[in-house]
């Protein structure tokens, strides 16, 4: 593997590259979180994507039970085995979906997560959403039990507000002497709300890593839809709605100035708009933010890896910042 600088996951000793691989698209085209959004990828393609990630220095992978009811976890494990990886060689993050379950489900389902991961341990286990029947205390207590039992190494959450994130952090630290290490949230140049709703500031204060998902807005920041709007028609209904809303043409027009700027900056670095977008995301706030773009092709994986090797100037970083202020 190529050597790439790593950062600590929260205050843990777990070290990760600033870009990991999001594995939602490994869900086998099934489940409410997979089948309605992603087409099924063959095992051969999944294996190739993971191999390219590993060869490029990526050392961590983010999946979830909700991604095809375990299929993403199993497909990831199969690809890692095919690449000759063993437990401990990579960092694995997965998630428990809270609604409509009780906190005890966290304890009851952990062996199923480990079963699907087929020999790979869970380095980061996350509460997948903020809406839950269980209390914050109940969920944090259950997660702490898994750490103490050696089932997982660290605890994270996803889509939690600043207040709820702080509450979870305090419960773990004061009652269990453990750390909340991450909050996985939507964050991109076209969605910078975490900078104004206290999530980013609270994470920085508490030493919590922000894991940004959808960093390229499902491909919008690559510029390919601006170049060829007809590609939008080929998207599934759910993905089209989530990415473009009811007025795709209006969204393309509104974001065109940003895409033009990204293309100009990218040309100066022999890079792509997507790589510039990812590089800004993982560097603008120091080491607080890491990200997990997905990949359904090896070429996309290669692009993601290349984003870590760009060095944007202060002026370029500031220009992108100014152009995206309206998305806070």
3-state secondary structure of 324: coil
In tens, the pLDDT along 298-323 reads: 999 999 999 999 999 999 999 999 99
Distance of CA 101 to the CA centre of its chain: 23
- Which alpha helices (H) appear in the chain, and where do they start and end? 43-55, 71-82, 104-117, 136-148, 162-176, 199-206, 224-227, 237-244, 248-268, 273-283, 298-306, 314-323
In order of 67, 185, 288, the CA distances from 179 in angstroms are 26, 18, 15
Q: Does residue 67 have an active-site annotation?
A: yes
Give the pLDDT confidence score for residue 137 in this predicted structure: 98
CB 118 within 8 A of CB 78: yes
Give the pLDDT confidence score for residue 181 in this predicted structure: 98
Distance, in Å, from the CA atom of 286 to the CA atom of 204, rounded to the nearest integer, reads 10
Give the pLDDT confidence score for residue 228 in this predicted structure: 84
Annotated catalytic residue within 37, 67, 116, 187: 67
Nearest to 265, CA basis, from 310, 226, 300, 305 = 310
Q: Average pLDDT over the chain, rounded to whole?
A: 94
In this prediction, residues 93-100 reach a mean pLDDT of 96
């Amino acid at each position: 593997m190529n050597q790439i600088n790593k950062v600590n996951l929260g205050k843990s000793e777990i070290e990760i590259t600033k870009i990991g691989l999001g594995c939602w698209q490994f869900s086998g085209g099934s489940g409410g979180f997979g089948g309605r959004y992603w087409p099924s990828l063959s095992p051969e393609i999944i294996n190739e994507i993971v191999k390219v990630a590993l060869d490029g220095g990526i050392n961590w992978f983010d999946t979830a039970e909700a991604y095809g009811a375990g299929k993403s976890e199993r497909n990831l494990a199969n690809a890692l085995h095919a690449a000759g990886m063993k437990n401990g060689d990579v960092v694995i993050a997965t998630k428990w979906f809270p609604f409509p379950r009780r906190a005890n489900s966290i304890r009851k389902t952990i062996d199923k997560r480990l079963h699907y991961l087929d020999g790979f341990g869970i380095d980061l286990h996350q509460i997948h959403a903020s809406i839950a029947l269980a209390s914050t205390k109940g969920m944090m207590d259950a997660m702490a039990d898994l750490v103490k039992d050696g089932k997982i190494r660290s605890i994270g959450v996803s889509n939690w507000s600043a207040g709820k994130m702080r509450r979870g952090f305090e419960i773990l630290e004061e009652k269990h002497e453990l750390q909340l290490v991450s909050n996985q949230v939507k964050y991109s140049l076209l969605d910078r709300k975490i900078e104004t709703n206290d999530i980013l500031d609270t994470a920085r204060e508490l030493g919590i890593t922000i894991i940004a998902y959808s960093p390229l807005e499902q491909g919008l920041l690559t510029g390919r839809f601006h170049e060829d709007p007809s590609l939008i028609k080929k998207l599934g209904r759910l993905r089209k709605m989530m990415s473009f809303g009811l007025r795709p043409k209006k969204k393309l027009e509104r974001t065109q100035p940003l895409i033009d700027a990204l293309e100009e900056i990218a040309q100066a670095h022999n890079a792509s708009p997507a790589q510039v977008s990812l590089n800004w995301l993982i560097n603008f706030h120091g080491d607080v933010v890491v990200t997990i773009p997905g990949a359904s092709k090896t070429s996309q994986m290669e692009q993601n890896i290349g984003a870590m090797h760009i060095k944007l100037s202060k002026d370029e970083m500031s220009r992108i910042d100014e152009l995206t202020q309206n998305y806070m």
